[in-house]
Chains A and B, each alone.
Chain A
Amino acid sequence: MPKPPEPTDPFLRALVRAQRASLSRRSVLAAGAGAASVSALLAACGTSGTPSSPGTAGPAEDVSDEDKRVTWANWTLYLDYDDESGTYPTLEAFTEQTGIEVTYVEDIDDNDSYYGRVQGQLANGQDIGQDIVTLTDWMAGRMIRQGYTQELDKANIPNWENLLPGLRDVSFDPGREHSLTWQSGFGGLAWNKTAVAAGLRTVSDLWNPDLRGRVEVLSEMRDTVGLIMLDQGVDIASDEWGDDEFFAALEVLDQQITSGQIRQVRGNSYAEDLVSGDALAVIGWSGDITVLNFENGDNWEFVLPEAGGTLWSDNLMVPIGSRRKKNAETLMDYYYDPAVAAEVAAYVNYICPVEGAREEMEAIDPELAENPLIFPDDEVLARSYVFRALTPDEENRYNAEFQSVIGN
C-alpha cells in the first residue's frame, strides 16, 4: 500500500500517524499464520466438534427490509441522552426518519471483557444478537483480522464521505471496508474539584498520600499502563520500547494497588464512583468528565498529564452473523450527517470524526466548538499518544500480567 502524503492539518496529521502506528507488520504476519483455523475451534472453548471458519462461511441472508430493527452495543455516556424523557433524541429522530427501531444497549464496559463474551459465538459465525458493536482500534483490528465482521456496503452509507480524511485509510482496516470511526478521545487525569483543590498535573500526583484509598484507575491496560509509561518518559507510540518499560510501569501500578493507594481498578463504571464520592481522583476518559459535570453539577476537571495522555478511537462494526446489516448501515449513515454528529458531540464531548461537525457545533454551542478536547488543536495533539500495536505474544503476556496485578 503506497503511503499517501501526510495531511497539513495538524489534527489530521496526528490521527494519520496514530492510525498507522496501531498495527505493526509483525502482528499482521503472525495473525495470518496460525490463527484462522485453530482459533475458530478453540474459541468455542474446545467443545465444538467441527471447526468452522467465519471468514469463508459468509454472512447470513440480510432481512433488513422486512425486519425494521437494529441493535447497537455501545459504551456508557456515549450518546446524547435526555434525562427528562429518558430517551436518546438523535435515535428517536432516526426512528422517525427511517422507521427503523433501535435497541441501544450500553453493553461494553471494556474491550477485553466484551470480546471474551462474544468471541465463542463469533468464531462459529453465529448471530450475537447485536448488529453494531463499538470497539477500540486495537480490538477492532483483532476482530477484522479474525473475520468476525462483515464488509460494509458504502452505497448504503453515502455520508461516509464526511469521515475525516486522516481516518479513512487506517492500517487495521485499509479503505474502511469493515469499520467506521464512532468517536475518538483521550485518556488522562480527572479529579473532584472540591476535594482536590490543588488539582493534578502528573500521574505521580495520584500517588499523593492525601488521596490514599480514593484513587481509581481504568481496567483498560493501554490507558492505565500507557499513562504511567508516559509519566516515566516512554513514548508509547514508538516501537522503541518493550518488556522492560512495560513491566517497570506495571511495577508502579502493583505497588499502588498493594499499598492501598488505588481503591479499585474499574471499567467505564469509575464514573459512578466519582459521583458517589468513593473516588476523588482517577485515570479516566475525556468525554465522560464533561458529561458528569453537565449531569451532576460542575464538580470535576479533566486534563492531559504534563507528560502526555493517550489517544484512541472507537469504531462501529457489523459483527458476522448479523442479519440486519443494511439497517446498521442506515444508522451509520445517519450519524455521519454533520448536524447529527454535532448534536452527539455536544453531549458526549469526545473528538468528533465527522467533517463539517465543527461548523454545525458553532450553531449549537460556540463554546464547545472551541473546546480542544472535542476539536483538538496542535498543542493538545502534540501531547497525546496512541499505544503502539502489540504482537499477539506481547498481548498475551502483557494482558495476563496486567490482569494478575489488578488482582485477577
Chain B
Amino acid sequence: MSIVTAIGHGPGQGAPAAAPRRRARGGAYLLLAPGLAYLGLFFVVPVFALLVTSLYVPVPGGEVGSFQPAFEWANYVRALETYWPQLVRSFAYAAIATVAALAIGYPIAYVIAVRARGRPFLQAMLLVLVVAPFFTSFILRTVAWKQILADEGFVVAGLRALSVLPPDGRLTATGFAVVCGLTYNFLPFMTLPIYANLERLDPRLVEAGADLYASGPTTFRRVTLPLSMPGVVSGTLLTFIPASGDFVNAVLLGNSTTTMIGQVIDSRFFKVSDYPTAAALSFVLMVAILALVAAYIRRAGTEELL
C-alpha cells in the first residue's frame, strides 16, 4: 500500500504539521528510519532491478532464458503492442469487480455499523462472517467455486432449467466467472474500510437531518453517504489495485480468452523465461495503476483518506 501512503502524505499535509514541531524532527527521522529502510530495500531496489531487466536483450544463439544487459526501450513498445488487450481487460475486470463489490459491500457495512449499532454481540458476529473467508486459503475457496459452478453442478443445471443460461451455456471458463471470483475474493477489502468509517458516523448528524425534515433516503444521500466517502475511497482502492494485478481467479475460473495481465507476466516469466517482457509488463502495470489511482484520488480528494 506504499503507493496510497505516499500519495496520502502529499506536500499539503506534511509541511504545516512539521513546522511547529521542529525540535522533534531528529526523533521523527529516527522513528521513520526502519520504515524507510524497509521501503528502500524491498521496494526501491526490486523496482530498479525490474527496470534494468526490462531493457535486456536475448544473447544471440544463447540458451533459453539467457539475456544480456542493454537499453532496449523497444521491449516496452513490443510488450504493449502485443499485450494491450490483456492490459485493458485486466482494468475492465477489476473496475467491474470493484463496482460490484461496492454495491454488495456498502449495504453490508451499513447494516453492521449503523443498523446493528448498540448490539455489540450481533456486530461482532456479523464482522466475523465478513472476515471468515480469510480463515481458509484464497486458492482453495476459488477452486471450490470452480466445483460449485461446474457444468454438471446444480447451479448451472438450475440456471439452465430457468432458461437463464442457454442449454449449452456454462459459467466456469468465462469472463463472467472471473469477475465473480474477483468480486467475491476482494469483498472484505471493500466492506471493512466502509464499516470502519460508518462505525464512527455521528448519529446526531443523522438526527439533525431528520429534524430538518429530510426523508430517510435524502438524509442518507446528503449526510451519511458524503461522510462515508473516505471509507468508499479506501475500499475501492484496496479492491481495484490488487484485482487488476490478480491472476489466480483468471487461471482457475477463466480460459484462454479471459487472460489477465497477471497471467501474461506469470507465463512470460515462468514458462517462456522471457524476463525482459515480463519485467516491462510489470512496470507498465505499475505505472498504469499509479496513474489511474492518482487521477482517482485527485478527483475524490486526498484529505478524505484519513
Q: What are the residues of chain B within 8 A of A45 when measuring CB–CB?
A: 49, 53, 269, 275, 279
Chain A residue contacts of B269, Cβ below 8 A: 45, 116
Which residues of chain B have C-beta atoms less than 8 A from A30's C-beta?
61-63
What 0/1 pattern do residues 127 to 159 of B give for CB contact below 8 A with A?
A: 000000000000000000011001111000000
Does the CB pair B65–A42 fall under 8 Å?
A: yes
Q: How far is the CA of A395 from the CA of B259 in the complex (A)?
A: 23
A residues within 8 A CB of B49? 45-47
Beta-carbon contact of B264 and A408 below 8 Å: yes
Residues on B with C-beta less than 8 A from A31 are 63
Q: Tell me whether B292 is interfacial, beta carbon within 8 Å.
A: no
Give A258 to B279 CA distance when docked, in angstroms: 27
A176 CB within 8 Å of chain B? no
Q: Which residues of the other chain, A, contact B257 by a CB distance below 8 angstroms?
A: 257-258, 260, 407
List, in ascending order, chain A residues with CB within 8 A of B64's CB. Answer: 142, 392, 395-396, 399
8 Å CB contacts to B: which residues of A46-80?
Answer: 46-47
How far does the alpha carbon of A266 sit from the alpha carbon of B49 in the complex, in Å? 32
Min distance, Cβ B36 to any Cβ of chain A, angstroms: 21
Distance from A208 Cβ to chain B, minimum over Cβ atoms (Å): 13
Q: Is the CB of B279 within 8 A of A38?
A: no
Selected contact of A34 from candidates B63, B258, B259, CB within 8 Å: B63
Q: How many A-B residue pairs have CB under 8 A?
A: 140
Interface residue count on the B side (C-beta < 8 Å): 47
- In the docked arrangement, what's the CA distance between A301 and B146, Å? 24
CA distance in complex: A263, B173 (Å) = 7
Residues of B within 8 A of A113 (CB): 270-271
* Distance of A278 Cα from B174 Cα, bound (Å): 12
If A30-B61, A212-B168, A276-B150 touch, does A265 touch B256 (CB 8 Å cutoff)?
yes
Alpha-carbon distance between A265 and B273 when the two chains are bound, in angstroms: 19
Interface centre among A31, A46, A264, A405 (most CB of B within 10 A): A46
Indicate the member of A212, A405, A407 with the most B CB atoms within 10 Å. A407
Q: Are A276 and B256 closer than 8 Å at their CB atoms?
A: no
Residues from chain B with Cβ under 8 Å of A117 in the complex = 270
In the assembled complex, A243 has its CB within 8 A of some CB on chain B: no
Which of B46, B66, B264, B270 meets A39, CB within 8 Å?
B66
A166, B162: Cα distance in complex, Å: 60
Q: Is the CB of A142 within 8 A of B271?
A: no
Residue of A nearest to B264 (CB): A408
List B residues 248-306 near A (Cβ within 8 Å).
255-259, 263-264, 266-275, 279
Contact flags (1/0) for A133-153 with B, using CB distance below 8 Å? Answer: 000000000100110000000
Nearest A residue (CB) for B278: A45
Q: Of the candidates A110, A257, A263, A392, which one forms a contact with B63 in the assembled complex, judged by CB atoms under 8 Å apart?
A: A392
Known: A35-B66, A38-B66, A403-B271. 16 other contacts (CB 8 A): A34-B61, A35-B63, A38-B59, A38-B67, A110-B271, A116-B269, A213-B168, A257-B256, A260-B257, A277-B152, A278-B151, A278-B173, A400-B274, A404-B82, A407-B255, A408-B271
Top 8 A-B residue pairs of the complex, sorted by shortest distance between their CB atoms: A116-B270, A407-B256, A35-B63, A408-B267, A277-B152, A39-B66, A46-B53, A407-B259
